Chain A
Amino acid sequence: MKKKSKWNKYMILSIVSLLVGVFLWWLVTDGLSAVKSNILPAPTTVVKTFIKKLYDPNPEGGTLFVHLLSSLKVALSGYGLGIILGIPLGIIMAWYSRIEMTVRPVFDLVRTVPGVAWIPVMVSLAGIGLLSKALVIFISAMVATVINTYSGIKQTKEVHLWVGQTFGASDWELLTQIAIPSAQPMILTGCKIALGSAWTTLVAAELLASTKGIGYMIQQARGIYRMDIVIVGMVIIGLTGAALTGLISLIEKRILKGGRY
Chain B
Amino acid sequence: MSISWIKNGRKFAYGTFGILLFGTIWFFATNGTNLGKILPDPITVLKKFFVSFAEPIGTKTMTLHILTSLRRMLLPYLTACVTGIVLGMVIGWYKPLEAIIKPYIELIRPIPPIAWIPLSIAWFGFAEMSKYFLIFLACFPTITINTYSGVRSVDETIVRAARMLGAKDRQLFATVVMPSTVPYIFAGLQVAIGSSWATIVAAEMIRSSEGVGWLIISGQETSNMSQVLVGIVAIALTGLLLVSFMRLLETKLCAWNERGA
Binding site for B on A (CB under 8 A): 10-11, 13-14, 17-18, 21, 38-40, 98, 101-106, 108-110, 112-121, 123-125, 151, 155, 199-200, 203-204, 207-208, 215, 218-219, 221-222, 225, 227, 230-231, 233-234, 237-239, 241-242, 245
Which residue of chain A has its CB nearest to the CB of B202?
A116
Which residue of chain A has its CB nearest to the CB of B114?
A204
Binding site for A on B (CB under 8 A): 10-11, 14-19, 21-22, 38-39, 95-96, 98-104, 107, 110-119, 121-123, 197-198, 201-202, 205-206, 213, 216-217, 219-220, 223, 225, 228-229, 231-232, 235-237, 239-240, 243, 260
A118-B205 contact in complex given A102-B14, A204-B114, A239-B110, C-beta closer than 8 Å:
no
Q: Is A113 a contact partner of B235 (Cβ separation < 8 A)?
A: yes
Q: Is A105 a contact partner of B18 (Cβ separation < 8 A)?
A: yes
Contact residue among B119, B202, B225, B243 (Cβ-Cβ distance under 8 Å from A234): B119
What is the CA–CA distance of A106 and B237 in the complex, to the nearest angstrom?
Answer: 12
Which residue of chain A has its CB nearest to the CB of B111?
A238
Q: Is the interface of B mostly helix, strand, loop or mixed?
A: helix
Contact residue among A21, A105, A125 (Cβ-Cβ distance under 8 Å from B39): A125
Q: Is A102 a contact partner of B112 (Cβ separation < 8 A)?
A: no
In the assembled complex, 23 residue pairs joining A and B whose CB atoms fall closer than 8 Å, in A order, are A13-B96, A13-B100, A14-B103, A17-B99, A17-B103, A105-B16, A106-B22, A112-B243, A113-B236, A114-B239, A116-B201, A117-B235, A121-B232, A124-B38, A125-B39, A199-B112, A200-B112, A207-B118, A218-B118, A233-B115, A238-B107, A238-B111, A242-B110
Most chain B C-beta atoms within 10 Å of own C-beta, residue among A117, A123, A203, A239:
A117
A156 CB, min distance to chain B CBs, angstroms = 13
